[in-house]
Amino acid sequence: MNCRRARRDLQLKSDDRLTFERELALGAHLEGCADCRAFEATLERIDETLARWPEPASDRIDLDAALARINARIDAETPDVAPAAAPRRTAWIAAAAGVVALVVGALAWRALRPEAPAEPHFAENVPPPAPRVETPTAPKDLVEAPDEAVALVDEPEPIDPDRVQNAREFLRTTLTELEPQLATAASTDEARAFAASVDEALRTGGSWPWRRMSERLLREDDAALVRTAARYVGIGADRLSIAALASTLERPDCADAVALALRDAGAATHPALADALRDPSRSQAAFVALSVAPDADRAVLLELAWRGFDDGRRESDAARAVLDALTSTGTAALAPLVDAGVRGELSEDRLVELLRGESWSTSALIDAAARARRSANGELTLLLCARVAGESALEVLERQLSNGDLHAAALDAIAAIASPAAFSRIVTLHSAGQLEFEEVDVALHAVTDANPDAPLRALEAAADAAARSGDASFRRALSGWVLSLETSAAVPALHALAADERFDPESRQGALLAIGELGGLDDADRLIERFREFEARDRRLAAACLIAIHRLDGEAAAERALEGATPRISRSVVATLRQSRLRDRELSTHRLSRALAPWLDERGTSEGRSQP
């Protein structure tokens, strides 16, 4: 190998593009060439200098905007072609095309025509040719000087196999002797110190490509030697080294050390480790490497592994293991999990299931919700915060209501909490003028459908609060919204409202009529029992209750409720009920209450007589 080829190979080596055989040949040349060793040192200094330069701020370059400005400038500076000039330009283009065709045809004919025999040329006084002088061959022990005329051959020159074998034995011996310096689960700093000791010892063996030769040792049967070589290769590993280490993860007797070596190599190993995490035969060793990595690094690597699963494998055991490991990294896992939800890889319910089991999730979600901005990620973050943190998230979600970009998402999140406190908070926000009627109606229906118990408990809490404070304004507002719920899920709350004497008669009457519209046959039986408890002063409530019974279960149910009434009263009441279908609710209640009055009075009198 001459110096010119050696220096070219040195540059290929710095780019990880040199084969093992070529690197062996290069090492043999460097042993005897001080100039090339100096050139190698220069290349290393250049690489170190470049490595210290900051990355280009490409994320701050808006390529689309820049291209638009360039195109606009070109359009502004390019004169428009007049319509009259268009035919002339077309003629010139056609003429130019014809000239080009003629030139190309002439050149092709000249190249393909047969060569004519050269005519003999006679000249006088032509000097005879100079005698050929043979150049002596340079001695073999001299290094070839760079010569531009020397043809480059990609095939490496043969190397003495004994020298290569001796170098390999020297490498094995060095690693074996220094192995006691390396603990079984040594940290990256400890592995780096071990690698420095190995490099120092190998300097006495010449300029062989020791790292590449160490990669070959990863194929040896000696497990102890493979583990030691792996930790050495992991320090400063390049693309080829990482590939060699990743392929060795399949060996159970060496997998732990190889995984730690990949950890030592840093972020460059993420793709290789991600592949290993998806491979059941290598995943256990890859998780060992992750176990000692910082949470942020683990989250990045596990997200990379998760994204590598296709749709058909996301329910596999390997995918679940990666997802569980990602969730266990703590707050660093939140952003990758939300991203997976936005991409549709994880459902909202699955995300809630994953996050509810983690101690860090509530505080992390509340912090993330406070910083959320308008985006699919921001909206999903608010929703997850509501479903995982529950009522603890009400305060931060209420603050986000003032953010116009996230107003609707924040209200949806509050409704998703689906608790009595969330129900009451929505009514309070409407009373304060922060929410419109239409959006409150939608939100309260969502709460009630998700948790039918929410409006009932909210009513009870409002009644208790009004009894303590004497202010019934919120109780009235809350009962009005409960009455407006047009869903069967609100029926339990309506029963409670109708039975609670702390609420005004109008609200209780409205609750009874609403039960008749939203309830079922079981509600009819329950209303019959309540109807028999009303007294003369409750005749409007009794009328509303009987209207609801009739609507739910017909005349037969109404007659059961009127058991004990005289036939005349019973006929009058039933006739009024029949007519109530054609009249408005208020008028029907008024007429029926008048029809019921004699029976209620008579029943009250008879009950009074029966008292001891």
Tens of pLDDT, residue by residue over 408-467, are 999 999 999 999 999 999 999 999 899 999 999 999 999 999 999 999 899 889 888 888
The pLDDT of residue 142 is: 40
What's the mean pLDDT in 489-498? 90
The pLDDT of residue 336 is: 94
Place of tokens 């936005």: 342
The pLDDT of residue 594 is: 84
The pLDDT of residue 609 is: 39
Percent of the chain residues past pLDDT 70, beyond the cut: 79
pLDDT band at 94 (very low <50, low <70, confident <90, very high): low
Give percent helix, percent strand, percent coil of the chain, each to the nearest 5.
75, 0, 25
Asked if residue 228 has pLDDT above 90, the reply is yes
DSSP 82: P
Domain boundaries, the chain: 3-48, 529-610
What's the mean pLDDT in 396-417? 92
The Cα–Cα gap between 394 and 415 comes to 10
The Cα–Cα gap between 481 and 492 comes to 14
Residues 6+ apart with CB under 8 A from 394: 414, 417, 421, 422, 425
The pLDDT of residue 149 is: 42
Global pTM value: 0.61
Q: Which residue has the higher pLDDT, 511 or 95?
A: 511
Closest CA to 304 of 356, 257, 339: 339
386-395, 579-588, 602-611: which has the highest mean pLDDT? 386-395
Token readout for 225 is: 């030697």
The Cα–Cα gap between 377 and 314 comes to 21
Instruction: Map residue 416 onto helix, strand or coil.
Output: helix
The pLDDT of residue 106 is: 54
Contact of 366 with 392, CB cutoff 8 Å: yes
Q: Which residue has the higher pLDDT, 565 or 340?
A: 340
Instruction: Map residue 464 onto helix, strand or coil.
Output: helix
What's the mean pLDDT in 388-394? 94
The pLDDT of residue 200 is: 93
What's the mean pLDDT in 349-370? 93
Opening angle at CA 128, ends 126 and 130, nearest 5: 135
Q: Which residue has the higher pLDDT, 280 or 290?
A: 280
Token readout for 126 is: 């032509």
Closest CA to 233 of 265, 255, 256: 265
What's the mean pLDDT in 184-203? 90
Please tell me the least confidently modeled range out of 190-204, 242-256, 533-547. 242-256
pLDDT band at 123 (very low <50, low <70, confident <90, very high): very low
The chain-wide mean pLDDT, for the chain, equals 80
Asked if residue 95 has pLDDT above 70, the reply is no
The pLDDT of residue 119 is: 42
Q: Which residue has the higher pLDDT, 249 or 513?
A: 513
The Cα–Cα gap between 358 and 2 comes to 64
The pLDDT of residue 117 is: 46
Q: In angstroms, what CA-CA distances link 456 with 449, 472, 507?
A: 13, 17, 14
The pLDDT of residue 33 is: 86
The Cα–Cα gap between 488 and 527 comes to 16
Q: Which residue has the higher pLDDT, 175 or 114?
A: 175
Residues 6+ apart with CB under 8 A from 201: 174, 177, 178
pLDDT band at 61 (very low <50, low <70, confident <90, very high): low
Please tell me the least confidently modeled range out of 104-108, 176-180, 529-533. 104-108
- Ordered DSSP codes for 307-328: HTS-GGGTTSHHHHHHHHHHHT
What's the mean pLDDT in 35-47? 81
The pLDDT of residue 112 is: 47
Asked if residue 122 has pLDDT above 60, the reply is no
48-57, 151-160, 485-494: which has the highest mean pLDDT? 485-494
Closest CA to 263 of 231, 238, 239, 308: 231
pLDDT band at 347 (very low <50, low <70, confident <90, very high): very high
The pLDDT of residue 158 is: 66
Task: Return the half-sphere exposure (C-beta side, CA atoms, 13 A cut-off) of residue 394.
Answer: 16
How do residues 293-317 score in pLDDT, each as one tens digit?
A: 777 788 888 998 999 998 889 899 9
Q: Which residue has the higher pLDDT, 61 or 471?
A: 471
What's the mean pLDDT in 107-127? 47
What's the mean pLDDT in 98-106? 54
The pLDDT of residue 589 is: 80
Place of tokens 């939140």: 334
What's the mean pLDDT in 20-47? 78
pLDDT band at 290 (very low <50, low <70, confident <90, very high): confident
Opening angle at CA 38, ends 34 and 40, nearest 5: 115
- Ordered DSSP codes for 39-55: HHHHHHHHHHHHHHSPP
pLDDT band at 582 (very low <50, low <70, confident <90, very high): very low
pLDDT band at 185 (very low <50, low <70, confident <90, very high): confident
Closest CA to 351 of 388, 406, 321: 388
pLDDT band at 97 (very low <50, low <70, confident <90, very high): low
The pLDDT of residue 282 is: 80
Give first-to-last CA distance, the chain, whole Å: 126
